[in-house]
Amino acid sequence: MILLLCCALLVLVNYIIYFCIGSLAICRLKDKPFSAGQAVIVGFFLYYCLFELICLPMVATWQKLSRLSLIWAILIAILCLISIALNIKIWKTYLGHFIHWVRANAGFVLIVALMLLTEILVIVHSYQFTLDAAYYVATATTALETDMMNVYDPYTGLWQDHFEMRYFFQAYPLQDAVMCRLTGLHPLLWTKRVMEAVSIILSNLVLYQIAKHFFKERYEAIGLFLFFCNLMNFFFTTIYTSAAFFTTRTYEGKTLVGNVVIPLIFWIYLKMQETDRYLRLWLFLLLVAAGAAALSNSANMLVPAAVGIFTVPLFIRKKDWRIIPGAFAAMLPGIVLMAVYVAYVRGLFVLYTYPR
Amino acid sequence: MQGFTIAETGLFYIWRCLLAYNGLCFYIILYIILLVFIAAKGSKEEKRSFLYPAVIMLLTVYNPIFPLIINRFFDVNKEYYRLFWIAPIVLLPSYMAAKETGAGRRSRGAKCIMFVACTLIFVGMGTFVYKGGYPMQENIYKVPNEVLEVADIIHRSASVKYPTSICDYNLHMELRQYDASILLAADRTQYLESITDTFQDEQTQQENYYVNKLLAVVARGVSIPKEEFLESLDATNTEFVVLHSVSHMVPYLKRAGLTEVGRAGSRTVFHYDLKNPIDYDLVDYSSFE
């Protein structure tokens, strides 16, 4: 019971971290009111971008997991402290507005909270057997056991003489390992409880942003939209759909790509329809694309495709050439990482796990 | 997609993919109907949000020629279906249902009827994820209790710090999620290739020679000559074999000289006395820091 309470607390800690980091990026925007939901979403992707930037060089130079964990803990603590120091006044003002908003929409908040809690309990409480867990979770357990990152094969535990590039850029399981090292939690508890709950909440947060776009302040319709989306997620369940990943493989990075990244790109596309000032949205899209690369390799194919599919009609309608470089920049992280992987598969380079 | 490739199915690949992707869920039909509705009666915003991207998807992702072209550059056989995730198949029906149900002009009764109707449509057109029963977890680790018990038995009976084992399929995939100090003789690809009888080229066959022998016994239930099996256990340093107690290979393992060291629920753990057990140790990277 205490462990489960710890898990619940860690879900909250995750969100506080995302919120603090995201606030650093969006609190200073003068022409836009602060939004906690958007701060969390921006913070989540900034968090994974930063993690990728620090983690990959350390993996490639055979550094220990414990060292990465220490560096990461210090960095996150510093960022959170800076964010608190810089943004506390804005948060206080926002809190007042938020409490007022909760009181005014108590029914909506209560129903959505109950729906979310039920969804989390149902999914997190279920037994989930998937083959990919043998990679995702075992990567974290192997890293913890050996104190090395991606050097040992998670499937067998045997030493590998080179890094498997298919998974090299996907730092998500290593982030799990870092957090397990810092919290002392078993990877199964972290991945299949804490991160599952984090993914479910984050996915709903993105759905909420989409609903807000369509229905503005009509909270009855927003609540219904969230209900129907979640209902369909439980009924759209062949093994291939993103909804099935959401309910049965929630702890995988791919789930976040299908249920957070793709809907978020859709939301950004909706926002771009409304404005001619794209820069901020393109920067956000670039952040999402770069952060998604850390979640799963599938993002390297899906994100450029999704950006292309949503920007072509935007360009045709607006006939604005500024759209092209923005879209290209957002596609770039995925395309580059895909090219690197293809080069590896064709034998153009190998990253060894020892000095040669 | 499992079971077919772009090379085999050609222009029909998309069709086969869509059939497999949607299975007995008919939301894609609902999605298409709603797109047609939006094309005819939808607002400008609805057309921009849903219809135009759908047209681009029809020309690209759902275009039968598209996978043939992409496959020339990348092997997308296994992952092409993920491009279907881009279509807002869940978002569009949910948006329409919320819009119609939550419309301010409707009476409370009409809203209730609308809500029930939409819910019934969504439920009726899909397949419930827990239709076979809710898979209740057995412990806080969310793996079967047997995984914990088997790991415990292996460590109690092991002669080395990092014992190697080979297990039945499910256990093999879950054991190292719980305990990474237990090594496994076969990786996931080797296991899957064995049970699906995938063709292996000569080089792979050579590399996997001993592992394939072990998998023939453990995964495929083939009684290979005892000497070959024991030689493979020694060559792969495999000290433990875990099988379902009711497996028809249990007598074979006993005849081969393996000893039962414990039972965990429906599974039996067998131990083999390796001729030259290798005490596997982690590589020392401290000098590279």
Quick one: average pLDDT of B135-145? 94
Instruction: Tell me the residues of chain A between 88 and 127 that have a Cβ less than 8 Å away from chain B.
Output: 122, 125-127
- Looking at the fold, whether B81 and B170 belong to one and the same domain comes out as no
Q: Could you tell me if residue B132 is inside a domain?
A: no
Taking CB atoms and an 8 Å limit, are A224 and B126 in contact across chains? no
Q: Tell me how many residue pairs between chain A and chain B have CB atoms under 8 A apart.
A: 248
Taking the mean position of all CA atoms in its chain, how far away is CA A265? 13
Taking CB atoms and an 8 Å limit, are A186 and B141 in contact across chains? yes
What local confidence, expressed as pLDDT, does residue B208 receive? 86
Residue after which a domain boundary falls, among B63, B91, B125: B125
Give the residues of chain A that fall short of pLDDT 50.
none
Q: Which two tokens stand for residue A92?
A: 């206080």
Count of domains in chain B? 2
Count of domains in chain A? 1
Q: Could you tell me if residue B169 is inside a domain?
A: yes
Alpha-carbon distance B87 to nearest alpha carbon in chain A (angstroms): 9
Taking CB atoms and an 8 Å limit, are B52 and A244 in contact across chains? no
DSSP B133: -
Residue B241, phi then psi, degrees to nearest 5: -125, 130
Q: What is the C-alpha to C-alpha distance for residues B129 and A248, in angstroms, rounded to an integer?
A: 8
In this predicted model, what pLDDT tens digit does every residue of B213-248 receive, in sequence order?
999 999 999 999 999 999 999 999 999 999 999 999
CB of A63 within 8 Å of a chain B CB? The answer is yes
Going from the C-alpha of A129 to that of each of A289, B172, B264, the distances in angstroms are 29, 12, 19
Taking CB atoms and an 8 Å limit, are B79 and A240 in contact across chains? no
Residue of B nearest to A248 (CA): B129
Q: Could you tell me if residue B288 is inside a domain?
A: no
Structural domain boundaries enclosing A190: 2-345
Q: Could you tell me if residue A354 is inside a domain?
A: no
Q: Could you tell me if residue A355 is inside a domain?
A: no
Q: Could you tell me if residue A351 is inside a domain?
A: no
Alpha-carbon distance A344 to nearest alpha carbon in chain B (angstroms): 12
Taking CB atoms and an 8 Å limit, are B57 and A309 in contact across chains? yes
- Looking at the fold, whether B110 and B192 belong to one and the same domain comes out as no
Alpha-carbon distance A181 to nearest alpha carbon in chain B (angstroms): 14
Q: Which two tokens stand for residue B224?
A: 């290979």
Q: What is the C-alpha to C-alpha distance for residues A42 and B75, in angstroms, rounded to an integer?
A: 33
- Looking at the fold, whether B61 and B160 belong to one and the same domain comes out as no
Q: Could you tell me if residue B276 is inside a domain?
A: no
Taking CB atoms and an 8 Å limit, are B79 and A192 in contact across chains? no
Q: Could you tell me if residue A69 is inside a domain?
A: yes
Residue among A192, A228, A241 whose CB faces B98 most closely: A228
Q: By C-alpha distance, which of A98, A73, A78, A67 is closest to A21?
A: A78
Q: Could you tell me if residue A105 is inside a domain?
A: yes
Q: Could you tell me if residue A350 is inside a domain?
A: no
- Looking at the fold, whether B91 and B202 belong to one and the same domain comes out as no
- Looking at the fold, whether B36 and B77 belong to one and the same domain comes out as yes
pTM of the model: 0.95
Quick one: average pLDDT of B38-42? 96
What number of helices (H) and strands (E) belong to chain B?
15, 5
Taking CB atoms and an 8 Å limit, are B126 and A232 in contact across chains? yes
Place of tokens 């506080």: A16
Taking CB atoms and an 8 Å limit, are B134 and A243 in contact across chains? no
- Looking at the fold, whether B187 and B150 belong to one and the same domain comes out as yes
Q: What is the C-alpha to C-alpha distance for residues A305 and A291, in angstroms, rounded to an integer?
A: 16
- Looking at the fold, whether B178 and B223 belong to one and the same domain comes out as yes
What local confidence, expressed as pLDDT, does residue A293 receive? 95
Residue among A4, A146, A257 whose CB faces B282 most closely: A146
Residue of B nearest to A311 (CA): B53
Label the pairing between strands B267-271 and B238-244: antiparallel
Q: Could you tell me if residue A213 is inside a domain?
A: yes
Q: Could you tell me if residue B284 is inside a domain?
A: no
CB of A243 within 8 Å of a chain B CB? The answer is yes
Taking CB atoms and an 8 Å limit, are A317 and B141 in contact across chains? no
- Looking at the fold, whether B155 and B230 belong to one and the same domain comes out as yes
Please check the confidence at residue B198 and state whether its pLDDT lies above 80. Answer: no
What local confidence, expressed as pLDDT, does residue B289 receive? 65
Kindly provide the b/e burial profile for residues B173-196, where b requires at least 16 CB atoms within 10 angstroms of the residue's own CB.
bbbbbbbbbbbbbbbbebbbbbee
Taking CB atoms and an 8 Å limit, are A270 and B49 in contact across chains? yes
Q: Could you tell me if residue A283 is inside a domain?
A: yes
> Chain A partners of B186 at a C-beta cutoff of 8 Å?
156
Going from the C-alpha of B76 to that of each of A197, A301, B1, B68, the distances in angstroms are 31, 10, 9, 9
Alpha-carbon distance A90 to nearest alpha carbon in chain B (angstroms): 33
- Looking at the fold, whether B181 and B92 belong to one and the same domain comes out as no
Q: Could you tell me if residue B289 is inside a domain?
A: no
Instruction: Tell me the residues of chain A between 167 and 206 that have a Cβ less than 8 Å away from chain B.
Output: 186-189, 192-193
Q: What are the residues whose beta carbons fall under 8 Å from the beta carbon of B235, sequence distance 6 or more?
A: B210
Residue B6, phi then psi, degrees to nearest 5: -65, -40
What local confidence, expressed as pLDDT, does residue B102 receive? 80
- Looking at the fold, whether B106 and B62 belong to one and the same domain comes out as yes
- Looking at the fold, whether B264 and B157 belong to one and the same domain comes out as yes
Taking CB atoms and an 8 Å limit, are B102 and A215 in contact across chains? yes
Q: Which two tokens stand for residue A185?
A: 């939690």
What local confidence, expressed as pLDDT, does residue B239 receive? 96
Structural domain boundaries enclosing B162: 145-271
Quick one: average pLDDT of B30-53? 96
Q: What are the residues whose beta carbons fall under 8 Å from the beta carbon of A351, sequence distance 6 or more?
A: A60, A162, A163, A165, A168
Taking CB atoms and an 8 Å limit, are A355 and B179 in contact across chains? no
